[in-house]
Structure 1
Amino acid sequence: MTTDTTTPPRTHKTATPGHAAPRRTKRRTAGKRRSAGSYAVVAAVTVFVLAFLAPFAIILLNSFKTSADYRSHGSLSWPEHWNWDIISDVWQRVDFTQKLINSIEISLGVVLIAVVLALFNAYAIGIGRVRWRTAFLVFFLGVNVLPQEGLVYPIYYLFKEMGLYDGKLGYTILVGVTYSAFGTYLLSSVFSSFPRELIEAASLDGAGRWAILWRIILPMSWPTLSVMCVFFFVWSWNEFLYPLVLLISNDNQTVPLGLSVMQGQYTSDPTAMSAAALLGVIPMIVFFLVFQRSLTRGVTAGAVK
């Protein structure tokens, strides 16, 4: 007796074209929308980058022109004769070496003072939870809001009385203390959200306040501190009003003050001014190229947190 082992043929369900077509159409439409949106973003970023780099390109072109070439063809033309000696002439005219050394010393001192004070203040306010915490934060916020024009003359007379006028040390302390207010306000908000379990566990293990600060708080806050160091260095490098009033001697002036002497009331040399501006921009470009990783890591860590 034989049994029939043949299996009946399977019936395959075929999708109707009416259901598949709308899905494919939707996918193609979404792809077109995404591509159009990405193109728009790239175009906007390209326009922004070109607008940002245009002044630097104009400065670079005019830095190597002769005065006759500038007067004949304007600021947007390509130099007919490259004047390579103008950089050395401007360097010697403004004593750029001394100005560069002064700016580096002052900026590094400002960063050290501002970061150390901000760290201690924020540790007391954010971790220690001192009394009148809100009042202290309002005070530090008010220091950031006050304009320099309203403080420069009281500071001028105060420096005169204390014997700090026309001295790099007094100026460095002033700017460092001023910047520490912003650093305190920033770090206090970071420390207020710090995990209290780590601090309590370290306290139970016998760690004191200094050990908690240097072994726990500082390593975990280093991304934010690195960003503060970069910002404070750039801000102090670009300061103009305070050094204009407080640093009058040629041996104590900074780079922005040294470049300002290229513009007079009745005389003006656009090519020399462009070369001086180029000399002032190059140190900042080098600084950002050196510390771009620290800045990127700090901003990324803050965004992820």
Structure 2
Amino acid sequence: MRASGAERFGNYLLLIVFGCFALAPIVSIVVAALGPDDGGSGSSGLGNFGKAWEIGHFGTYLRMSLLVSVSVVVASVLLSILSGYAFGTMRFRGAGVLFYLFLLGIMMPTEAIVVPLYFDLRTLGLTDTYWAVALPQVAQSVAFGTFWMRAYFRSSSRALVEAARLDGAGHWRTLWQVLVPPARPALVTLIVLVFMWTWNEFLIPLVMVTSESLRTAPLGLAFFSGQYTSGFTLLAAGAVIVGLPVVLVYAFLQRHFIAGMLEGAVRE
């Protein structure tokens, strides 16, 4: 049944209104970042970004965030593929119990585990290191990634798997040559989500590290806002610098991301 012209107009109008609500804060921050510095430094436009970059040491923070985000994405996606394949295609004793343990990782908020996790990592001598920032986020991402990839593998074509088995393919070959190539939309969606969550993580770096060289971009922005409060313009420029990588990743992969989300919705 086709929608009438009035229905289409109402749908577009509603989308435009909600789009304006969503974009208004972003546009206001960008406009503020490009305006004259209200802190009295005399900079304006792109000069605000250069000044914020220099004062806030965002180069160091962005490198740390990029290192952590890329390593967490690679490790968690790889482990999620393996665990999702096991839970989605294999039948073994204790599979249900193990899967529910993974689900606990999704349901458990970071605030509930960060203090005991800090003491555990301190006992191992890992606090104030790169590993204290990356490893907890790998564990959190694998919990969701396992749930996500299990749903995909459970709904994948059984005929492909059976044909591969008849051809003599083992589990390893079936996974990487038969099931993973068609899973690109689901994998891209997982990559974008994990990258976004890791990049924006604030609490774990705040608790686990004290060295300035190990601060991530959101944590560095918080310290920048604490030490540079004479004007809003440079804070807005710093916020744009920190948020830009996530926007670029999503813009570059948004077609596959939306396809993966729609594919998951249809299968559910």
TM-score (norm 2): 0.90
CA shift, 1:120, in A, is 1.0
Instruction: Say which of 31, 34, 55 aligns to 2:25.
Output: 55
More off after superposition, 206-215 vs 234-243: 206-215
1:133 is displaced (CA, Å) by: 2.5
Question: Which segment drifts farther, 179-188 or 213-222?
Answer: 213-222
The answer to whether the Cα contact below 8 Å between 1:124 and 1:130 also exists between their aligned partners in 2 is no
- Shift in Å, 1:302: 3.5
Deviations 1:40-91 (A, max 9, x none): 111111111111111112112221232179xxxxxxxxxxx94543221110
The 5 Å alignment of 1:50-89 reads 50-63=20-33, 64-67=35-38, 82=44, 84-89=46-51
Alignment identity in percent?
32
Moved more, 176-185 or 85-94: 85-94
CA separation in 1, counterparts of 2:46 and 2:141?
39
Q: After superposition, where does 1:259-298 map in structure 2 within 5 Å?
A: 259-264=221-226, 267-298=229-260
Greater Rg over alpha carbons, structure = 1
Indicate the residue corresponding to 1:40 in structure 2: 10
Q: Which runs of 5+ in 2 are unaligned?
A: none
**1-side partners of 2:46 and 2:196: how far apart?**
28
Q: Aligned partners of 2:203, 2:77: CA distance in 1, in Å? A: 22
- Distance in structure 2 (CA, Å) of the matches to 1:294 and 1:89: 36
> Which residue matches 2:174?
212
Q: 1:90-126 deviations in whole A, cap 9, x for unaligned? A: 1011111111111111101010111111111111111
RMSD: 2.3
Please name the residue that 2:80 is paired with.
Answer: 118
| Structure with the larger helix share | 2
Aligned partners of 1:295, 1:202: CA distance in 2, in Å? 28
Tell me if structure 2 keeps the 8 A contact 1:262–1:269: no
Q: 1:248 to 1:68 in 2, by over 3 A?
A: closer
Structure 1: tracts of 5 or more residues without a match: 1-29, 70-80
* 2:139 equivalent among 165, 177, 181: 177
Decide whether the 8 Å contact of 1:117 with 1:177 is kept in 2.
Answer: no
The letter of the residue matching 2:36 is K
| AA partner of residue 84 (structure 2) | A
1:138 lines up with 2:109 in the alignment: no
Q: Which has the higher contact order (CA 8 A, sep 6+)?
A: 2
Tell me whether 1:250 sits opposite 2:212 in the alignment: yes
CA separation of 1:271 and 1:286: change in aligned 2, threshold 3 A? same
